[in-house]
Structure 1
């Protein structure tokens, strides 16, 4: 999720077509914060493990460019300024504004259902939303978190918790309007296509591939493709990891606007 400017949708709307759809995705703050704390290695920045930080987070947290994601990171990425994180009225106002700015707020915990709603919104086909789970930590790098710790995480990230609860409700309203039985059928079709693509493309899952960026000490899963799909564009694109894929998209965008004079990244 890239940071959505504090001025809201206006800066994006100034360069995008009028009929653009605005979509974002959020995640349960409990698992989100554990992932952030581990992945960004805040235990080194703050000098304490996650449980130690949560005993008295205000003692450790200092809002600045390197640590803004240690509290209410989703609201921050969606444009809530740092000074408003502890202002309940501003948080409520921001959530209401997000609800008007985005056509769809997807849920990480219900990713397949989210993609079905995205397909419906964009008038896409199943082949447009088939996916491999990318950039995931291997099980050895995921820390088990107790329910008590989860409660402390959600209390500390009270703004993100309010955000998540609001859009969790509206998400299931959308599912209900879409049709729950229809949703089950379409999710099954998507899972079938995902399996077909995995069987077609993937040789095996690997961790700590030297060509895939990951924080020191954090094992991240990626895919080794079958030799037979070396020239299969669908397989190559679906297995492309975050940074190379981002560079590819940027290069395509530059070529669109600058033609043959596009700078090479």
Structure 2
């Protein structure tokens, strides 16, 4: 991609053809961002890019890529390296398994990890050096409340979202002096097509949030520079108490001897 002469900020969004990603694209376009929209469905991407460009007077480009494919992922990484104007990366692409662990094929498990974990980590690293050059460089990672609730969903999806949560928290600590802001968003059930892909009926899911409300809330957290944003959580003090309890454990881990109960 040739370097743009636009003075607008530039955001790259993965999983941008539908749902949360498409809604982020709409909201960021309304904020004046030029866009690079990434997903597997090139037709939907082109339609969305044309619509957002026309409605918001921004430049929106579609880039078709399958992030579970090494060659396709490498092409996106090269695009990022060639486009230092990118100031915001939204790692939204993700998938679920239609069945639990025991009913899932090994290749399906591997594909989920490639998409939910590997591509997110790789793209974050590839984009990092360019993001550091911007006064407002940022990465938004979309996780899930299931990162905090292993009792609810299948082990692979839940663990992948726990990775995204911990990964983002650790990035914020390690790179606190980099000037880059890292946010992780933990949606609960949201009305997107991911449920149909997983063989589940949205009507059977309690407490479904509309995708527009989810993204608008997440962007409030973004504006407030939250590291962890949990839109459905009504009492923020419960998250703060959990996080503080976790932090209080750290000194307890730094011991030279096993606890008495193990002797």
Q: Same fold (TM over 0.5)?
A: no
TM-score w.r.t. the length of structure 2 is 0.27
Larger Rg: 1
Higher RCO by CA contacts (8 Å cutoff, separation 6 or greater): 1
Greater fraction helix = 1
